[in-house]
Amino acid sequence: VQTCALPIFQRSKVYPQQILMAANHVVPEMPVQIKRALNKAADLAMDNVPDFGGLKVGVIVDVSGSMGSGLTTGSPLSQASALAAGMVYKNKDATLIAVDTSVHHPSYDPDGSVIGIAKVLSQYRGGGTDLGAGLRYFHGKPVDV
């Protein structure tokens, strides 16, 4: 994906999770140029993700067992991971938590690729679901959105 592709991405409204679906099919023997192109495409797609202009953003991702497994194409977890990765990539000061029956604090590189952040999130596979744990975590914290 070259710089001239940027207007195409802006007009197409492609979101990072759509690029992640393609990245899920990358096999180890695939040429490194294709892997790099997918990372670049995901980064270009960031122009279509909302920027909350300095507001403090809190992102809660449901990583419970019912969300499916890892980066399986089309699983709710892969979709949620990609969308959350896009939000924290675009809003650098965002706080990201993963929730199943408790709150997890994923360790990721905020300056890394969207695909890399999504892969970190997709490694969580909890049992039950308690999104209230995420809401309780942010209660009283300085979060605007």
pLDDT in tens, 108-129: 988 887 788 888 888 887 789 9
pLDDT value, residue 39: 79
pTM: 0.75
With a cut of 50, say whether residue 38 has pLDDT above it.
yes
Burial class (CB in 10 A: 0-12, 13-18, 19+), 17: buried
Rounded percentage of the chain residues whose pLDDT exceeds 70: 88
Mean pLDDT value of segment 133-145: 94
Distances (CA, A) of 145 to 1, 91, 140: 32, 11, 13
Predicted confidence at residue 1, as pLDDT, reads 46
More confident residue, 32 or 72: 32
Q: Higher model confidence: residue 3 or residue 104?
A: 104
What distance in Å separates the CA atoms of residue 23 and residue 118, rounded to the nearest whole number?
A: 11
**Residues contacting residue 114 through CB under 8 Å, at least 6 positions apart:** 16, 19, 20, 39, 42, 43, 45, 46, 82, 85, 86, 89
pLDDT of residue 141: 93
Instruction: Please report the pLDDT score of residue 9 as a whole number.
Output: 61
The pLDDT value recorded for residue 98 is: 95
